Amino acid sequence: MKKITLLIIYFLLSTFSTAQSENFNYNELGQIPVLYNGRIQPFDSLARYSLLIIREKTKVIRNTEKITATQWLWEVFSHNKNIYTDKVFLIDNPEVQHELNLSPNRKVYSFNEIKNKISLILAKASALKDKDNKSAYETNIIHLGQKITLFNILLHTFLPFDKISFHNYFKQYSENIKNQVTIFNNYNEQGQLNNQKEKLTLVKFNQDFKRHLQLSKTSNIYLYVFTNEDKNIIWSNTGEELLKHLDYNYTSNPLIVNYANLNKYYESNNINKFNSELKSSQNQFKKILQNKQTLVKLEYYFNKTSPFIFAMILYIAVFLLSGIFYLINSNILFKLSKWICYIAFSVHSLGLIARMLIQQRPPVTNLYSSSVFVGWVAIALSLLQEKIFKNKLGYFISSILGFTTLIIAYHLSFQIDTLEQMQAVLDSNFWLTTHVITITLGYSGTFLAGLIGTIYIFKEIFKIKSIDNKTLYTMAYSLICFSLFFSFIGTVLGGIWADQSWGRFWGWDPKENGALLIVIFNSMILHFRLSGIFKIKGIMIMCILGNIVTAFSWFGVNMLGVGLHSYGFMNSAVQWLILYISIQVVIAYLGFNFIKDDKFK
Amino acid sequence: MTKIKAIINLLSSLKFALTCFVALFIIILVGTFAQINHGIYYVQKVYFHSFFIFITVKNITIPIFPGGALIGTMLIINLSLSTILKIKWTLKKSGLLIIHLGLILLLLGGGLTSCISTESQIYLEEGKSTFYSEDLNLNELIIIDSSNPKFDKLIAIDYKELKQKKEIQHKSIPFKINIHNTFDNSQLNITKINQDTVVTSGIGKSLALKALPIFTKDNLKNNPSCIISFNDNKSATYLFSLDINGTQKVKINTNTYYIQLQPKRYYFPFLITLSKFKDDYYQGTSIAKSYLSEIKITDFKTNQVQNTKVYMNHPFRKELFTFYQASFGEDIPSSVFQVVFNPGWLLPYISSIIITLGLLIHFSIHLLFFLKKKNS
């Protein structure tokens, strides 16, 4: 046990190890606060999100060296020459590859490899955007368009063009602007200029102004923060900051000076000055953001440790260990699986708590977090049942639940910023806590019951005697009661929320219907049990079919793309849902066909 | 007598309840998938608020499955009978009894709501006022009698009624309305050639009407029309249609009337004014943080003025009307309110509390028994 703990501590320490003073402090850089997508986040989050969209991975490989997302993004901001040859654009559709004359034996390409076709792709993407029933090629063109657009936005965070480095540009601009404004004012008052030089200055002034205005309108990356007269925290982008210098008495925001210096030291490879400049900009942020900066740091460490992926790996270990345990019946293996399962569950829980703290929201805010939470609750229930019934199934079941829900979450995380802001209708922590949580508790209960049903079927088919049928039945039955209770309350709370925000308690919206289906299905199971029509086998098969109902209600209705719950929509992964449903049908069929019903009622 | 007993026995049985469950499950599933191709209003009408679901094969319409209303009714009967006759009224079953009573109330409330509640909308620009809302789906024929110099008399007849009847004799008007034809959806075209239309007077004389199948998607608006004559079948015929904006002047007997087909209106006993509309977005995104309308309510009876706010998750209730922030105008600061009139709005709240309580009691009793058994 101690060894495992030590191993984990070592693992955690090694991921945090930052003591590399001879290099640029990317860890510190990764913690710099940025406002993007409507929320304050660490630089690292923006970097990872951007890479997830463009590269569909969070790391870049340059030659053989692994580059972190933060370093890559910083180099994009500062127009480092490497970024044009870094292979970051994931293009895996053969038709698109062919269209861009790319060699088909790779999947990622550099900016330079595609730059000649960029305007073509963007034009095509915007033409296809609103088309119904897109082909794979068309969807890929649109995706590539999004990747290029994002890359462009990132590239122009500091400067609207790339002929000059930011620190030089900013230095020249801030030195000359007062003179330029004076000439401009003179010209406005007198209607004439003194000489050719002033004329040229005014032309440059005009050009800069237009460029900065455009930059201020198009860039959605806000790097600079200040407090206004009303003590409100306001964020601005580079364009806005540069425009403010038109005010003759304006002194530059210290942060833009910091960024310009960082740019300079990075270019001149002055590591020490770069790192101390980072410290000073962090202090500047601290002055304005105060406690909010702690949450930004927390998010950075959350990214860095990826607790859900770590937990997922541990769940796989639990699965293997308990699998081997069932084969060779070694008590040590069982104990080991138990402890690793508890560690995995703790990491899983810590991840959830961190998310809640960072977002200042209840655990479920989107489809991604619902998956993490459904798994967490189901595991908690399974561990609780293990405590009560002690039939050595709890850790095995937990590992399956943990792995599947976290892998689903992992794949859902590609589509969105997982800590995104909530739309107006969802902006209510009260309803997110009550309605959303209770509904997901219901999901967890039915999935766990379905898994127990599955275990029953396989156990009967392979004639495993060590697990008592009656215990399995009691476990499944209590879970059905549990999920009936919570899905009913969740549905009702949803009705009340709908009555508060849309004006009707019930509107037969697909998501509402999905929730109701779970309630009806669970009460059907209870009434079938009561009527004696179904015995153990029948109830267990119904529990398995309950998986289908819940999966349909959870993901299926979102794939229909209709109704009022549009914030949960998704259109991919239909094939996965169909696969899942088919598996459940096959298991139910196996049970139906190969098992004699138990006499026990 | 034994037959009645047998029927009651059947209706109160668990098997009957399970049949209802399965039927309900199926129509919810079908009604959900139907929403891919049809709007929610149509789906509710066809699947959930109907007694039977019909299909039409070669012009013959046959019922193929019970609709939501029928299943709901059967469930109410089953629940009531089983609660009275089948479940033992003991302490152990108290939770179950409470759940079933709550369910009866919930289903009754649902039925009541679908019968009497109305949903309508108001579009208001900043500074503008209104005292009525308009239904998105229902329409009415209005007849304005302006013979009295002091006030206009307004008579409204539901389009539904026009559709069902051949002639209408309304007590407030001294003439009969003869309905020649109604079209649930139609297209009007301007034509110079008078085809063989039956319309002989009014603007309809110079319009060609093409009957269309009804649109079932929510984003497409139906254009109902009717061809009507007054007093008797042989007098001049007029065309009224939702697409014809404004009233048509019709001389009947000695009096002049102004007639129009328009969205059904619901009148409030107060005036609502949009003072201000505000929308707020997260910086640098198109994600809306909030929509908020400041409204002013002026009561017609008391003349009292009330200022209040309507925003997401915070509706405004007055005299059984509830106003919700539903949408907003893109170009000018303006607001769209969903207006719900639902006298039974409290019923689901009450019944849900009862059921939740019942579930809690029932499962707690079960859990206690289980733990007792386990310990002994």
Mean pLDDT of A480-509: 88
CA atoms within 13 A on the CB side of A68: 16
Q: Can you name the residues that pair with B277 across neighbouring β-strands?
A: B293
Summarize the confidence of residues B312-338 as an average pLDDT.
87
- To probe the interface with B, which of A432, A434, A505 has the most B CB atoms within 10 Å? A505
H or E segment to which residue A492 belongs = helix A469-501
Distance of alpha carbon B240 from alpha carbon A175, whole angstroms: 73
Mean pLDDT within B341-363: 91
Q: Would you state the pLDDT for residue A415?
A: 65
Q: Has residue A344 got a pLDDT over 70?
A: yes
What percentage of chain A carries pLDDT values higher than 90? 51
A513 → closest Cβ in B14, B28, B359: B28
Chain B residue numbers with beta carbons less than 8 Å from the beta carbon of A150 are none
pLDDT of res. A367: 87
Interface contact A501-B370, CB threshold 8 A: no
Q: B41 CA to chain A: closest CA distance, Å?
A: 9
| Nearest-CA distance B114 → chain A (Å) | 10
Q: Which residue of A has its CA nearest to B326?
A: A502
Mutation site for A-interface testing, chosen from B287, B289, B291 by largest number of A Cβ within 10 Å: B287
CA A593, A594, A596, A597 torsion-angle sign:
negative
Chain B contact set for A441 (CB, 8 A): none
Contacts of A313 (CB under 8 A, 6+ apart): none
A35-60 pLDDT per residue, tens: 998 889 999 999 999 998 898 888 89
φ and ψ at residue B249, rounded to 5 degrees: -85, 125
Give the residue carrying structure tokens 């980072």: A278
pLDDT band of A9, cuts 50, 70, 90: low
B351: distance to nearest CA of chain A, Å? 10
Q: Phi, psi at residue B336, to the nearest 5°? A: -115, 125
Instruction: Inspect the interface and report whether the beta carbons of B283 and A35 lie closer than 8 Å.
Output: yes
* CB within 8 Å: A505 and B370: no
Two structure tokens written together for A329: 């019946």
A450, A543 Cβ separation under 8 angstroms: yes
- Over range A487-497, report the average pLDDT: 90
pLDDT digits (tens, 9 = 90+) for B12-36: 999 999 999 999 999 999 999 998 8
pLDDT at A179: 87
Q: What local confidence, expressed as pLDDT, does residue A35 receive?
A: 94
For residue B9, give the 3-state DSSP assignment.
helix
Contacts with B, A 34-93, CB within 8 Å: 35-39
For B316, name the nearest residue in chain A, comparing CA atoms only: A500
Long-range contacts of B251-258 (CB under 8 A, 24+ apart): B252/B175, B253/B174, B253/B175, B255/B145, B255/B147, B255/B174, B256/B146, B256/B147, B257/B143, B257/B144, B257/B145, B257/B146, B258/B143, B258/B144, B258/B146
CB contact under 8 A, B40 and A530: no
Q: Can you give the pLDDT at residue A598?
A: 61
Q: Do A524 and B22 touch (CB under 8 A)?
A: yes
pLDDT (tens digit per residue) in B297-314: 999 999 999 999 998 888
Contacts of B287 in chain A (CB under 8 A): 37-38, 420-421, 423
Alpha helices in chain B (DSSP H): 2-11, 14-33, 40-43, 68-81, 94-116, 159-164, 347-375
Helices (H), A391-468: 394-412, 429-431, 437-461
Residue A519's closest chain B neighbor by CA?
A: B25
Q: How many angstroms away from the CA of A39 is the closest CA of chain B?
A: 8
CB distance A36–B29 less than 8 Å?
Answer: no
Does the beta-carbon distance from A557 to B370 stay under 8 Å?
no
B interface test, pick of A219, A226, A501 with most B CB neighbours within 10 Å: A501
Tokens standing for residue A70 = 């933060």
Tell me: the pLDDT tens digits for A102-161?
888 888 999 999 988 889 999 998 888 877 777 888 888 988 999 999 999 999 898 877
Supply the pLDDT for residue B205. 81
Question: pLDDT tens digits, residue range B179-212?
Answer: 988 999 998 888 755 555 677 788 888 888 888 8
pLDDT of residue A601: 41
Confidence of residue A298 (pLDDT cuts 50, 70, 90): very high
What are the tens digits of pLDDT across the range B356-374? 999 999 989 988 888 888 7
pLDDT digits (tens, 9 = 90+) for B117-157: 888 999 999 999 999 999 988 999 999 988 888 998 999 99
Residue A16 has pLDDT above 70, yes or no: no
Q: State which residue of chain B sits closest to A489, comparing Cα positions.
A: B356
Cα–Cα nearest to A439, from A377, A529, A368: A377
Nearest C-alpha in B relative to A427: B289
Nearest CB neighbour to B21, from listed A420, A425, A527: A527
- Residue B19: closest C-alpha in chain A: A524
Element (H, E) at A415: none
pLDDT reported for residue A6: 54
Please give the structure tokens belonging to residue B304: 């009292």
Q: Which residues of A touch B342 (CB under 8 A)?
A: 504
Q: In chain B, which residue's Cα lies nearest the Cα of A431?
A: B313
3-state secondary structure of A37: coil
Contact flag B288-A521 (C-beta cutoff 8 Å): no
CA A489 to chain B, closest CA, distance in angstroms equals 7
What number is the average pLDDT over the span B219-241? 86
Does residue A549 contact residue B26 with C-beta atoms inside 8 Å? no
Q: Which of B31, B363, B374 sits opposite A513 (nearest CB)?
A: B31
Q: Would the pLDDT of A10 be above 70?
A: no
| pLDDT for the residue numbered A600 | 47
Query: Chain A contacts of B349, Cβ < 8 Å?
Result: 496
Of A424, A524, A560, the CB nearest to B289: A424
Q: Which residues from chain B sit within 8 angstroms of residue A154, using beta carbons? A: none
Find the angle CA(A115)-CA(A116)-CA(A122) to the nearest 5 degrees. 75
What is the C-alpha separation between A281 and B280, in angstroms, rounded?
Answer: 30
Q: Write out pLDDT tens, residues A409-425.
A: 988 887 677 777 777 66
Q: Give chain A positions within 8 Å (CB) of B348.
A: 492, 495-496, 499, 505-506
Tell me which of B98, B216, B283, B342 to substitute to probe the interface with A (most A C-beta atoms closer than 10 Å). Answer: B283
Mean pLDDT, chain A, as a whole number? 88
ipTM: 0.89
Query: How many helices (H) and strands (E) in chain A?
Result: 25, 8
Taking CB atoms and an 8 Å cutoff, what residues of chain A touch B115?
Answer: none
Kindly identify which residue of chain B lies nearest to residue A557, measuring between CA atoms: B32
DSSP-assigned letter for residue B232: S
A36: nearest CA partner in chain B: B284
Task: Give tens-digit pLDDT for A363-396.
Answer: 998 889 999 999 999 999 999 999 998 889 999 9
Chain A residue numbers with beta carbons less than 8 Å from the beta carbon of B356 are 488-489, 492
**Cβ-defined contact of A421 to B289 (cutoff 8 Å):** yes
Q: Which residues 367-426 in chain A show a CB within 8 A of chain B?
A: 388, 420-421, 423-425
For the cut 60, the answer to whether the pLDDT of residue A11 exceeds it is no
β-sheet bridge partners, residue A92: none
Contact A337, A321 (CB under 8 A): yes
Beta bridge mates, A233 = A227
Say if the Cβ atoms of A557 and B32 lie within 8 Å: yes
pLDDT at B194: 54
The verdict on a CB contact (< 8 Å) between B290 and A38 is no
Interchain proximity B285–A478, CB inside 8 Å: no
Q: Do the Cβ atoms of B40 and A508 come within 8 Å?
A: yes
* Token code pair at residue A452: 């127990």
Most B-contacting residue of A216, A436, A524, A562 (CB-CB within 10 A), to test interface = A562
